[in-house]
Amino acid sequence: MHRRFLALILLVLGLAFAGTTGFAQALPGTGTSSSGDAAAEPAPDLSSPEAINAAVARLSDDEVRALLLDQLNATATDTADAEAPKNLIERVSATWVALTTPTIEAFRALPILLVKQAEAFANFGASFGGTGGVLTLFGLLAVAVGAGLVLEFIVRKMLARWRKLDDVIDTSTLWGALNFLFRRFGREIVGLFVFYFTVRTVGRTILTPEQMAFAGLFATYLIWFPRVTAALSRFLLAPARPEMRLVNVPDGWARYLHYNIIGVVLLASFTQFIIQFNASNGVPAGTTRLGYWLSALFFFYIGLIAWRARDGLSSMMRGTDPDNSRFDEQVAQAYPYFAMGLSFVLWLVVQYVVGSGQIALILSGPQYTTLIWLLMAPALDTAIRGLVRHLVPPMKGEGVLAEEAYRSTKRSYIRIGRVLVVGVVIMIIANAWQLDLFSAEGDLPGIGDNIVAFLLTAAVGYVVYEGVSLWINRRLAAEHTSREVTEDEAGGEGGGGSGSRLGTVLPLARVTAQSAIVVIFGLLAIGNLGIDITPLLAGAGILGLAIGFGAQKLVSDVVSGVFFLIDDAFRVGEYVEIGATRGAVEKISIRSMQLRHHRGPVHTIPYGEIPQLTNYSRDWVIMKLRFTVPFDTDPNKVKKIFKKIGAEMSADELFKDDFLEPFKSQGVFEFDDVGIVIRGKFMAKPGKQFTIRKEIYNRVKREFDEAGIDFARREVRVAIPNLHDEDDVSDAEKAAISAAAAEAVQQEIREQEKPQG
């Protein structure tokens, strides 16, 4: 068995690289004799497994081993010669020759194109007994096709009762439209399969195997493929049912694209049909170069459709999502030109592959697979955005923060979906072109597989990056929208409500996680390019040490910030005081925090410079209000008014949830030069106190007016000795009194404006 196994390997290598004749001459007893006779014995018969086994049986182990080594050395030499590196000029020249050879040969074959095509038709007719045989063939084919159409019609009629269910489907929603389209598409596919199997069954019954070979080719390429394409196009474009259309395209362009998609597939199917037809009738594909002209017409047709339907394709790519970004709009505008450029580039690729002698690869149709998947980009992108729009739940809360978070979440889902779809499409296209993207021994040796590994690593890293951003953004949206405070609620005085601890820490966690993902996957991707990342890691360590020793203040700020966050000293949205600076915490970073004063200025304070921090927004707020009334006012009467206001506001739907303790009187606080100072207080949620205070002032004023209570006013009294009657005061004395009173008022104002302590 061992000897036979080695001999079989030898035979395969010999047939592949040396040829059957050379191998036969090397066998003992089949080449020249050892005495140098010129006459060679006839080559052994290697046309059957039995003959091969008989030839191998005559070999000894030493002969098998020697012959195998010779063949392996010859194979290695030929491979080394074939893979000898070429310089740039030779590569460019070889590429140019491969690109231009099909065109030159196609023009050279023009004079014989019609002649050879006529020869193929003549051979076809002769193989079926002349014109009568051909007519008989097409007649029987028509019978089979007619039987398929009749049975398909009957099946569709039987399925007609299910069509009545379409009337009760709510087509105003995406799921309703999909339900309707899938039902209709399912009925069409069932009918098409009935048609296909009927034609196949009837054809095998009434046609000979030779006739069936042609009939199968004709029915598959020129009937089956175009009809399946029409069903798929109706599912996607719905040219007659605009309310069911899955893509955003006007009615006119939907009909135009529908019919031309069928035309494109019909042209591609005809190309495959005629090439196989000619090859089976004595005219190989390379004889007339008919495939070149049909391929050029196919790609020109694609470019013409893209040019004429620019507006429709842009509209289809744009979709109906109201949250499209500027990038989405640019892609929509560029898509028709991408389609035109793609058709031209694929035409060049086809010419290069054909010029390189790989016609069999082109006959398998990878160019059609590439075009289909790349030109389906609008449908795939629309599907991704539609699924995201209908499957992603709305964010909790309302307002600007919720809307921004919702848009950010949708964009992250869309980006992840696009990356995954692009990866799948690349795999499908690579498989169509017979490229092994994961093997260094495949069709992309050397730098090719490194680039593929780099792109795959980058794609995985991007998906992880977006996934982390997505999760954190969703949590941030829930945290932020739950405490969103309007300007009216803040009252323009600062001291807003407390944010959550997660809402403060998550932005830093997002930045840290994203930076780590970028660094890790960036290094992995660079390593996949064949670059040694060890020096990069060493350099990063040295840089970290340099930063640690040279930027001690930066390190101090970062460490102080970490401990402030651990102590939960402040949160985003809280109103804090740091020294002489006050404001709401608007933004935090690794090194510093930003405070927004309620009048607008923004203060940036490094963590290392915070000696003490006062938080005005944590848990609850007590606000005390002062009211000055004349000396003759009854304090008990004021107390009852405050108690009434507190009870009414605690029952009010607008304010009851904001109170922690109702508004009430604290009695007489002090006496001053004007009157009695009576104080009231309430406890409220942070950020709500100013709105409550404004309403309390309004209600106290109204209640005082109804009770006849005035607020005390500041007065200046001037005593004039020996004055018993104001009529005795002269005009000069009145002027002096007015001047003295004005001076006293100004003095009082100056005293109040002096800074305290």
Are residues 148 and 230 located together in one domain of the fold? yes
Whether residue 49 is contained in a domain is answered as yes
Q: Which residue has the higher pLDDT, 164 or 595?
A: 595
Q: Given this model, what pLDDT does residue 150 score?
A: 92
Q: Given this model, what pLDDT does residue 166 score?
A: 54
What's the mean pLDDT in 387-407?
66
Q: Give the whole-angstrom CA distance, residue 624 versus residue 237.
A: 68
What's the mean pLDDT in 32-50?
45
Whether residue 583 is contained in a domain is answered as yes
Whether residue 440 is contained in a domain is answered as no
Q: Which residue has the higher pLDDT, 367 or 569?
A: 367
What's the mean pLDDT in 591-608?
80
Looking at the structure of the chain, the number of domains it has is 4
* Residue 124 pLDDT greater than 60, yes or no: yes
Q: Give the whole-angstrom CA distance, residue 207 versus residue 705.
A: 109
Please tell me whether residue 659 adopts helix, strand or coil conformation: strand
Q: Provide the token pair at 532.
A: 């040694």
Q: Specify whether the CB–CB gap between 618 and 633 falls below 8 A.
A: no
Are residues 257 and 129 located together in one domain of the fold? yes
Q: Tell me: the pLDDT tens digits for 458-484?
A: 888 888 888 887 777 777 666 655 444
Are residues 130 and 206 located together in one domain of the fold? yes
What's the mean pLDDT in 529-544?
71
Are residues 580 and 685 located together in one domain of the fold? no
Q: Which residue has the higher pLDDT, 648 or 396?
A: 648
**For all residues of the chain together, what is the average pLDDT?**
75
Q: What is the pTM for the complete model shown?
A: 0.59
Whether residue 468 is contained in a domain is answered as no
* Residue 540 pLDDT greater than 70, yes or no: no
Q: Provide the token pair at 138.
A: 């097409």
pLDDT band at 545 (very low <50, low <70, confident <90, very high): low
In this structure, of 330-334, 356-360, 531-535, 655-659, the range with the lowest mean pLDDT score is: 531-535
Query: What H or E segment, with its residue span, contains residue 345?
Result: helix 326-355
Closest CA to 491 of 690, 233, 261, 747: 690
* Residue 301 pLDDT greater than 90, yes or no: yes
Q: Given this model, what pLDDT does residue 263 score?
A: 92
Query: What H or E segment, with its residue span, contains residue 615?
Result: strand 614-615
Closest CA to 500 of 586, 574, 433: 574
Q: Given this model, what pLDDT does residue 549 score?
A: 59
Residue 319 burial class via C-beta count within 10 angstroms: exposed 0-12, middle 13-18, buried 19 and up: buried
Are residues 65 and 213 located together in one domain of the fold? no
Q: Tell me: the pLDDT tens digits for 167-218?
A: 555 556 667 777 778 888 888 888 899 999 999 999 889 988 888 889 888 9
Structural domain for 639, as ranges: 621-707
Are residues 149 and 271 located together in one domain of the fold? yes
Residue that has been written with the tokens 């302590």 in this structure: 757
Whether residue 445 is contained in a domain is answered as no
Q: Tell me: the pLDDT tens digits for 648-680?
A: 888 888 887 777 788 888 888 888 777 888 888
In this prediction, what percent of the chain has a pLDDT beyond 90?
9
The DSSP bridge partners found for residue 588 are 593
Are residues 232 and 176 located together in one domain of the fold? yes
* Residue 9 pLDDT greater than 50, yes or no: no
Are residues 186 and 124 located together in one domain of the fold? yes
Q: Give the whole-angstrom CA distance, residue 593 versus residue 550.
A: 22
Are residues 627 and 569 located together in one domain of the fold? no
* Residue 639 pLDDT greater than 80, yes or no: yes
Q: Which residue has the higher pLDDT, 685 or 13?
A: 685
H/E/C letters for each residue in 203-271? HHHHCCHHHHHHHHHHHHHHHHHHHHHHHHHHHHHCCCCHHHCCCCCCHHHHHHHHHHHHHHHHHHHHH
Closest CA to 376 of 229, 505, 557: 229
* Residue 740 pLDDT greater than 90, yes or no: no
Q: Given this model, what pLDDT does residue 576 score?
A: 82
In this structure, of 152-161, 476-485, 621-630, the range with the lowest mean pLDDT score is: 476-485
Are residues 140 and 275 located together in one domain of the fold? yes
Identity at 510, one-letter amino acid code? R
Query: Which range is most confident: 202-211, 281-290, 529-538?
Result: 202-211
Are residues 163 and 259 located together in one domain of the fold? yes
Structural domain ending residue among the three candidates 268, 283, 298: 283
pLDDT band at 49 (very low <50, low <70, confident <90, very high): low
Query: What H or E segment, with its residue span, contains residue 352?
Result: helix 326-355
Whether residue 607 is contained in a domain is answered as yes
Residue 475 burial class via C-beta count within 10 angstroms: exposed 0-12, middle 13-18, buried 19 and up: middle
Q: Given this model, what pLDDT does residue 260 score?
A: 92
* Residue 78 pLDDT greater than 80, yes or no: no
Q: Tell me: the pLDDT tens digits for 237-278?
A: 888 888 777 778 888 888 999 999 999 999 989 998 998 898
Q: Tell me: the pLDDT tens digits for 364-393?
A: 778 888 888 888 877 787 778 777 776 776
* Residue 24 pLDDT greater than 50, yes or no: no
Are residues 201 and 52 located together in one domain of the fold? no
In this structure, of 560-574, 603-617, 686-700, the range with the lowest mean pLDDT score is: 560-574
Whether residue 124 is contained in a domain is answered as yes
Q: Tell me: the pLDDT tens digits for 415-471?
A: 888 888 888 888 888 888 877 766 544 444 444 566 777 777 888 888 888 888 777
pLDDT band at 18 (very low <50, low <70, confident <90, very high): very low
* Residue 304 pLDDT greater than 90, yes or no: yes
Q: Given this model, what pLDDT does residue 7 score?
A: 37
pLDDT band at 76 (very low <50, low <70, confident <90, very high): low
Q: Given this model, what pLDDT does residue 484 score?
A: 46
Whether residue 134 is contained in a domain is answered as yes
Q: Given this model, what pLDDT does residue 542 score?
A: 67
Q: Given this model, what pLDDT does residue 360 score?
A: 77
DSSP string, 386-437: HHHHHHSPPPSS-SHHHHHHHHHHHHHHHHHHHHHHHHHHHHHHHHHTT--T
What's the mean pLDDT in 711-724?
64
* Residue 17 pLDDT greater than 50, yes or no: no
